[in-house]
């Protein structure tokens, strides 16, 4: 990952602070194949108690000249459906990859209800699948890409956190 915009502040300076403040975000893969596995780290500070109805969505954009072009959900890649943050937390807990700074005070350190405090998710494998129904020989071409992850409270549909990472794809289907 070549650059990270924590909390999407560079993108939109008018944004107020979110209940989920991203402290760090890193993709550990030197290369990412599609299909393949994404290995990442994310530390975040929860500034107010949040219930378990948090989702996250990803948006991928490709740089063409000076503009960023949205990559639609093709072959399971791009701007696809929302996913449950609770499911990601539960997956991380199974491998002891979910760390809560104030877990000594918590009755259930793997709860999807997030108390105020700092949390880290690290080395949780996220499988990136290619849909068999997609008839794309190469869904992604070499170039610069922007990956945006938005955290949303499902009811009401409100943004509560954001991070943007910048990647360069050197060869087809390999992120570096």
Does the predicted TM-score (pTM) go above 0.85? no
Name the nearest CA neighbour of 146 among 35, 61, 53, 25.
Answer: 61
Tens digit of each residue's pLDDT (9 = 90 or more) over 62-100:
899 999 988 776 555 566 678 889 998 998 999 889 988
Tens digit of each residue's pLDDT (9 = 90 or more) over 39-72:
888 999 999 999 999 998 888 888 999 999 887 7
Separation between Cα atoms, residue 176 and residue 173, nearest integer Å: 10
Q: Tokens 């990647």 identify what position? A: 167
Question: Which domains does the chain show, CATH number per domain?
Answer: 3-175 (2.70.220.10)
Separation between Cα atoms, residue 119 and residue 45, nearest integer Å: 6
């Amino acid at each position: 990952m070549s650059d990270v915009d924590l909390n999407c502040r560079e993108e939109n300076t008018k944004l107020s602070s979110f209940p989920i403040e991203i402290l760090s975000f890193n993709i550990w893969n030197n290369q990412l194949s599609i299909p393949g596995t994404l290995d990442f780290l994310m530390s975040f500070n929860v500034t107010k108690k949040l219930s378990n109805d948090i989702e996250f969505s990803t948006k991928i954009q490709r740089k063409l000249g000076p503009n960023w072009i949205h990559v639609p959900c093709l072959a399971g890649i791009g701007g696809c459906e929302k996913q449950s943050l609770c499911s990601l937390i539960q997956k991380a807990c199974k491998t002891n990859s979910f760390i809560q700074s104030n877990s000594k005070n918590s009755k259930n350190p793997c709860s999807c209800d997030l108390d105020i405090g700092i949390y880290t998710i690290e080395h949780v494998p996220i499988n990136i699948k290619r849909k068999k129904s997609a008839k794309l020989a190469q869904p992604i071409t070499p170039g610069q890409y922007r990956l945006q992850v938005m955290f949303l409270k499902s009811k009401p549909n409100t943004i509560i956190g954001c991070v943007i990472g910048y990647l360069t794809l050197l060869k087809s289907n390999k992120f570096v």
